[in-house]
Amino acid sequence: MMRAMPTTPRPAEDREISRDRILKAAAEIASECGYEGTTISRVTKRSGLPASSVYWFFRDKDHLMAEVVRHSFEQWIAAQPRWERDPRDERPLAEGLRAILSRSVRTLRDAPDFLRIGHMLLLESREVEAEARRYFLATRDAVSNTIAAWFTSHFGTELQARRPELGMDLARIVVAATDGLFLAHQINDDDWDPDDFVTVVVTIVEQAVAAA
Amino acid sequence: MMRAMPTTPRPAEDREISRDRILKAAAEIASECGYEGTTISRVTKRSGLPASSVYWFFRDKDHLMAEVVRHSFEQWIAAQPRWERDPRDERPLAEGLRAILSRSVRTLRDAPDFLRIGHMLLLESREVEAEARRYFLATRDAVSNTIAAWFTSHFGTELQARRPELGMDLARIVVAATDGLFLAHQINDDDWDPDDFVTVVVTIVEQAVAAA
DNA sequence: CACTGACTGGAGCGATCACTACAGGGACGT
DNA sequence: ACGTCCCTGTAGTGATCGCTCCAGTCAGTG
């Protein structure tokens, strides 16, 4: 529980952030207990706000969960490095990739809620939480496309024409490898050195580009 | 619901497989709905057996879930290729790895319950289902060790002495990559060609061994 | 035929689920 | 001072949760 339930009414400055406190508590619980394990009772206990406040801000549990995914994504994307390429940047692909990835993997430890919740929604195949699940998938696709575009921007026009799908293939490898690293982190934080991970991914990409 | 609840008592041959029917139903539900979503009510509906039968075979929900993990693992491991090396096998490491992996990835589509449930237990960090979770982690470790031993058996004594951890590092890469492929499969079956995956993993391993 | 042991069917326990109704209380504009 | 609006606190809804109890029903045994 973040804070004891006060008997006196909450002051004004607290009220303004009540919605955020509910979202934060729900995100933590969802990342620990999954969708069905996120009960309103648990949210009220951790947020210190009553159930009536939860239902004041959110229509029902489904909408709360959808907002949790959206909110935790915003925090996650804010911590992510930009997959944008400065046209003046003349560094080789491998060097730029290493720079972005080593910043990216560090966010796995700091803001894991979004990925944890998202992965749970992927694994659970019920249709109930369709809204939250669809939002996560759309976000994931957007990230893949951004990474693919970043790769393609490094290719010459000849390679782009001959292997138009190469950028997306590489993006898929990066995403899948990040998923694997993230899962390993959930088991044991020290199980795998993130720098080793970056080296492995850069090596794959270099090989694939050289082969094409 | 697999079968209508009969008003007349069940014949003997059905009784003998009641435990398996409960396990099968629970595994399906757990793989769709997660740990908290696997309710006794859902299990009784899908298995066609009453709650009293569930509690006749299993002490409580935790033990049921632990048995589900153990049972689904047995089915999964039966479909897995053997990570054993015939000492007379003189094929290069890459060729043997490719043969094993291409059989291994094909099991992802056929018997996904074990991995789905296991990944959910990894993500959910509650202490409640400690037994099922611990069993999955132990199994995972055992598989990693087997793969690591397979790699090490391909190394010369000089390399084994100089880089004793190399086999385990490579095993971790294989496991993490498989996790990533599995997750991609959950989103879209046709998203990624398993043969591409095998090629990528073999390439990483070849690179890493060559560097060492 | 009686007896036993392995299940099943059904009723029901207290706790908790998602959710609602409603009476306020504090910060505001007037 | 007064009313309005936003939000909180409390009490409670019916449904479902995990789980228990126990009579009843079968196959097998003697």
Q: Does the structure show a pLDDT above 70 at A45?
A: yes
| Nearest alpha-carbon partner for B114 in B10, B31, B35 | B31
Residue nearest to nucleotide D6 (CA to C1'): A15
Instruction: Check CB contact under 8 Å for A37 and B36.
Output: yes
For A14, how many CA atoms within 13 A lie in the half-sphere containing its CB? 11
Q: Is the CB of A55 under 7 A from strand D?
A: no
Distances in whole angstroms, Cα of residue A53 to Cα of each of A2, A14, A47: 16, 13, 10
- Taking a C-beta distance cutoff of 8 angstroms, is the pair A162, A186 a contact? no
**Quick check: A48 and A4 in contact, CB under 8 A?**
yes
- How far apart CA A202 and CA A196 sit, in angstroms, is 10
Indicate the residue type of B85.
R
Residue-wise pLDDT for A123-179, tens only, equals 887 665 667 788 888 888 999 999 999 999 988 888 889 988 889 988 988 988 889
Task: Decide which of B193 and A96 is more confident.
Answer: A96
The confidence score (pLDDT) of residue B87 equals: 75
Residue of chain B whose Cα is closest to the Cα of A170: B200
Q: What's the angle, vertex CA A169, arms to CA A168 and CA A170, rounded to 5?
A: 90
* Interchain contact, A176 vs B173, CB within 8 Å: no
CA distance A123 to B184: 10
Write down how long chain A is: 212
Asked if strand D comes closer than 7 Å to A126 Cβ, the answer is no
The mean pLDDT value of chain B amounts to 84
Amino acid at A145: N
Q: Which of A90, A208, A93, A73 is nearest to A150 (CA)?
A: A93
* Contacts (Cβ under 8 Å, ≥6 apart) of B49: B18, B21, B22
Task: Give yes or no for a contact between B128 and B38, defined as CB atoms under 8 angstroms apart.
Answer: no
Q: How many angstroms is C1' of C7 away from CA of B50?
A: 11
Report pLDDT for B5. 39
The secondary element (H helix, E strand) that includes residue B122 is: helix B113-123
In this complex, the answer to whether residue A22 has its CB under 7 A from any atom of chain D, a nucleic strand, is: no
Q: Is the pLDDT of residue A206 over 90?
A: no
pTM value surpassing 0.75: yes
Q: Is A199 exposed, middle or buried (0-12, 13-18, 19+ CB in 10 A)?
A: middle
**For residue A37, which nucleotide's C1' is closest to its Cα?**
C17
Q: Is the torsion defined by CA of B12, B53, B42, B73 positive or negative?
A: negative
Q: Report the candidate in A169, A175, A65 with the shortest Cα–Cα distance to residue A120.
A: A65
Among the residues of chain A, which ranges form H helices?
12-15, 18-37, 40-47, 51-57, 61-79, 93-110, 113-123, 130-152, 157-162, 166-187, 194-211
Quote the CA–CA distance of A80 and A74 in Å, as a whole number. 10
What average pLDDT score do residues B41-70 get?
95
Contacts of A6 (CB under 8 A, 6+ apart): A48
What's the rounded Cα separation, in Å, for the pair A177 and B200? 11
Q: Minimal Cα distance from B203: which residue of A? A: A204
For the segment A181-204, what is each residue's pLDDT rounded down to a tens digit? 888 888 876 667 788 888 888 888
Tokens at residue B53, please?
């039968």
Question: How confident is the model over A14-39, as pLDDT tens digits?
Answer: 556 899 999 999 999 999 888 889 99
Contact present, A193 and A100 (Cβ < 8 Å) = no
Of B120, B137, B203, the CB nearest to A34: B120
Identify the pLDDT of residue A199. 87
Rg (alpha carbons) of chain B, rounded to whole number? 21
Whole-angstrom distance, CA of residue A106 vs CA of residue A91: 22
Query: Which bases along strand D come within 7 Å of a protein CB atom?
Result: 6-12, 16-22, 25-28
Q: What is the pLDDT averaged over residues A107-134? A: 79
DSSP assignment letter at B111: -
Only one residue has tokens 């008592």, namely B9
Give the Cα-Cα-Cα angle B42, B43, B49 (nearest 5 degrees).
120
CB atoms within 10 A of CB A27: 23
Q: Is the dihedral of CA A176, B155, A192, A185 positive or negative?
A: positive
CB-CB neighbors (< 8 A) of A187 in chain B:
122, 137, 140
Centroid of chain to Cα A168: 19
Give CA–CA dist B43/B45, Å, rounded.
5
Judged by average pLDDT, the poorest of A116-125, A142-151, B53-62 is A116-125
Over chain A, what is the mean pLDDT? 84
pLDDT band per the 50, 70, 90 thresholds, residue A56: very high
